[in-house]
């Protein structure tokens, strides 16, 4: 019974914290988006991803570092108390949250697997100067996309190979390689796992920023930026939006207006701006982050015993 109560308390606290923090994110993420627009696309995408994963990380950390230890250390093992209705309801809700997340991730994986199997019928390997395999496929849609998580591949349609010049094709491939380096398909899978009502706007903003970040990585010089812009225009006329799945990243899978906004952004770039963005104050931001993390860790250690007592008092209400 002690173990059952511990599991029920842990699930209940996880569900409470996860939902509370998620609601805060739902109502406040747009303020963070206003700030993120001032950052580079890469940093903006990292910020939005961190914000989206914040409820899960916060709930998992508090449950594992406070709820479980406080229950194991402070709850009497010998007392045989029945599980209350509130505790059972919250624990069931926490279990359902986990199962829903797992099922949505599994459905997304299955849909992506089926789509990739359909696209790659009759596929043939293409020349690649990188460790990521490039495969030429027959279907025109999507024209170019990254598939896979552990073993990613880049699929390029024969129509795209015919339409794009050598420079345009290379710039487009560099864009997709940036998605592979940033593990964007894995991040999209995590998004499915932590599904929560009201997060669509945040997820759409994140999808926008990862495309801009990949554009920046591919458009290193003015020539690269112009080639990528030309590739976007050509492929946007070939591939309708929505051709990719939740767990694939297509070069062109957004509305035409979004694609043209990316083109305008690429045309406005300059080599000087690219070089400056590469040498942005990463070290300063990293140092500040490390200092803040260390200070928070010290405060957590110093207050740990008192935190355990407070969390145990809170879980006592659940048990009763």
Nearest to 5 by CA among 304, 313, 316, 311: 316
Beta carbons of 89 and 43 less than 8 angstroms apart: no
Pull the structure tokens for residue 150. Answer: 């552990």
Q: What is the residue range of 132's domain? A: 2-319
Number of domains in the chain: 1
Beta carbons of 192 and 246 less than 8 angstroms apart: yes
Kindly give the residue spans of alpha helices, DSSP state H, lying in the chain: 2-36, 41-62, 68-74, 85-119, 158-163, 166-181, 184-193, 200-218, 222-238, 256-267, 271-278, 282-302, 304-319
pLDDT along the chain (320 residues), means of 10: 82 92 94 90 93 94 89 73 78 92 94 90 82 86 88 91 92 94 94 90 93 90 90 81 74 76 83 45 54 70 77 70
Beta carbons of 188 and 249 less than 8 angstroms apart: yes
Question: What b/e string do you get for 221-234 counting C-beta neighbours within 10 Å, with b at 16 or more?
Answer: eeebbbbbbbbbbb
Q: How far apart are CA 132 and CA 149, in angstroms?
A: 12
Q: How far apart are CA 271 and CA 266, in angstroms?
A: 11
Beta carbons of 205 and 48 less than 8 angstroms apart: yes
In the chain, what is the straight-line distance between the N-terminal and C-terminal CA atoms, in Å? Answer: 14
Is omega for the bond preceding 142 within 30 degrees of 0, making it cis?
A: yes
Beta carbons of 243 and 142 less than 8 angstroms apart: yes
Q: How far apart are CA 249 and CA 243, in angstroms?
A: 10
Beta carbons of 219 and 274 less than 8 angstroms apart: yes
């Amino acid at each position: 019974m002690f173990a059952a109560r511990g599991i029920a308390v842990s699930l209940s606290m996880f569900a409470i914290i996860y939902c509370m923090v998620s609601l805060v994110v739902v109502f406040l993420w747009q303020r963070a988006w206003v700030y993120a627009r001032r950052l580079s696309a890469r940093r903006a995408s990292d910020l939005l991803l961190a914000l989206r994963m914040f409820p899960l990380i916060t709930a998992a950390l508090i449950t594992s570092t406070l709820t479980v230890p406080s229950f194991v250390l402070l709850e009497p093992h010998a007392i045989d108390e029945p599980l209350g209705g509130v505790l059972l309801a919250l624990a069931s809700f926490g279990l359902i949250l986990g199962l829903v997340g797992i099922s949505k991730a599994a459905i997304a994986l299955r849909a992506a697997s089926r789509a990739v199997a359909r696209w790659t019928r009759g596929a043939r390997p293409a020349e690649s100067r990188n460790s990521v395999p490039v495969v030429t496929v027959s279907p025109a849609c999507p024209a170019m996309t990254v598939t896979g998580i552990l073993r990613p591949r880049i699929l390029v349609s024969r129509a795209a190979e015919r339409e794009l010049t050598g420079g345009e094709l290379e710039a487009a491939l560099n864009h997709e390689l940036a998605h592979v380096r940033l593990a964007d398909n894995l991040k999209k899978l995590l998004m499915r796992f932590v599904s929560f009502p009201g997060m669509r706007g945040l997820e759409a903003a994140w999808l926008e920023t990862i495309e801009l970040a990949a554009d920046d990585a591919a458009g290193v010089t003015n020539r690269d930026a112009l080639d990528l812009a030309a590739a976007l225009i050509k492929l946007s006329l070939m591939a309708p939006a929505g051709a990719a799945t939740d767990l694939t990243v297509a070069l062109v899978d957004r509305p035409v207006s979004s694609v043209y906004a990316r083109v305008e952004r690429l045309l406005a770039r300059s080599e000087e701006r690219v070089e400056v963005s590469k040498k942005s104050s990463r070290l300063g931001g990293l140092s500040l982050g490390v200092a803040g993390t260390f200070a928070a860790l010290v405060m957590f250690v110093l207050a740990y015993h008192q935190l355990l007592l407070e969390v145990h008092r809170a879980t006592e209400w659940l048990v009763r």
